[in-house]
Structures are given as C-alpha cells and as structure tokens.
C-alpha cells in the first residue's frame, strides 16, 4: 500500500510513471484556504494504463480528477476528466529547466499551452507543478510537495 520512494523508472512506455505508483498526499495553502490533495496512481486495464485518482479537499468544497496515462502513437500521453466537467489531454515532453529526472506532460488548453511536471524531492516523495507557457517562459501557478501515504 505504501508508495515507491525512489525515482527508478520502469521499462516500456509506462515505465516513467513507476516512481509515482502508490498513494500520495500534499498539503498547501490556496486562495480557497488550506488544501489537502491526495493522488493515487495504479496500473489498470491489464497493465496497459496507469490511472490517477486525485481529490483536492478545501474547507468548503472538493474537486476531483480521474486521468489515464497510456501509449498514444508510441508516446506516453494522458487523458484527464475533472468534477467541474472539464477535460484535457496531452503528451510527454521534457522539462530540464526543472529537474533532470522530471516527468513532464504538455497539453493544449483553451488559454494556451500548459504543462504539469513531476520530479523527485529530497524528502523521498515528489513535487508537482502546473505552469502555463508565456512569451518569457513558464508561469507557475500550482506547486505541491507530495509524501507517501503510510
């Protein structure tokens, strides 16, 4: 039930997701007050996909996401669906500006290109950000620090 605490990638298209498998939790301050965010990554559908189930708990509301990561034309991709009725999809790219082992996905959103990036942190968990592309680079608007759920 514990999550992988090292950042060793597995084999195959889904291999880069291996360090994320398991249950994770982050706490953060947000414009809506204190936030507890839980992410659970597990292999599904005969090992062909990794499913993310994510719950953001605010003082007065909850936001949920379900995403699948899998191969699309030989590239690692994701398809995300959220409780506010929105959806997005994107493909794996690189983010050497953040960390040499970063796992990055970019998506074309209505407001432009956005990316989400996962990378190992010194506490044995991982950090996760969401950023939007600007003319000057990337604008970070979400940063969470995840630890394994024991």
- What integer pLDDT is reported at residue 31 of this predicted model? 81
Residue 10 lies in a domain: no
Residue 101 lies in a domain: yes
Residue 5 has pLDDT above 80, yes or no: no
Q: How far apart are CA 66 and CA 113, in angstroms?
A: 20
Residue 6 lies in a domain: no
Tally of structural domains, the chain: 1
Whichever domain contains 22, its CATH number is 2.40.128.20
**The whole model's pTM is what?**
0.91
Residue 48 lies in a domain: yes
* Structural domain containing residue 69: 15-148
How sure is the predictor about 1, in pLDDT bands with cuts at 50, 70 and 90?
very low
pLDDT tens sequence across 97-108 = 999 999 999 999
Q: How far apart are CA 149 and CA 26, in angstroms?
A: 10
Contact status, residue 29 vs residue 143, Cβ threshold 8 Å: no
Q: Which regions of the chain does DSSP assign to beta strands (E)?
A: 22-30, 33-44, 49-57, 62-72, 75-82, 87-93, 103-109, 112-120, 126-134, 137-148
Residue 55 lies in a domain: yes
pLDDT tens sequence across 21-45 = 999 999 988 888 899 999 999 999 9
Distances 75 to 3, 11, 69 between C-alpha atoms, Å? 25, 14, 10
- What integer pLDDT is reported at residue 4 of this predicted model? 39
């Amino acid at each position: 039930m514990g999550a992988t605490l090292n950042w060793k990638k597995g084999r195959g298209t889904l291999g880069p997701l291996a360090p994320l498998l398991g249950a994770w939790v982050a706490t953060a301050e947000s414009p809506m007050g204190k936030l507890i965010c839980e992410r659970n990554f597990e292999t599904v559908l005969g090992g062909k996909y990794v499913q993310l189930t994510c719950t953001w708990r605010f003082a007065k509301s909850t936001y949920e996401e379900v995403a699948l990561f899998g191969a699309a034309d030989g590239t690692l991709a994701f398809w995300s669906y959220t409780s506010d009725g929105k959806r997005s999809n994107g493909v794996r790219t690189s983010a050497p500006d953040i960390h040499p082992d970063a796992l990055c996905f970019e998506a074309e959103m209505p407001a432009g290109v956005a990316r989400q990036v996962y990378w190992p942190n010194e506490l044995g968990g991982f950090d996760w950000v969401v950023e939007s592309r600007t003319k000057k680079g990337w604008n970070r608007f979400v940063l969470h620090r995840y630890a394994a759920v024991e």
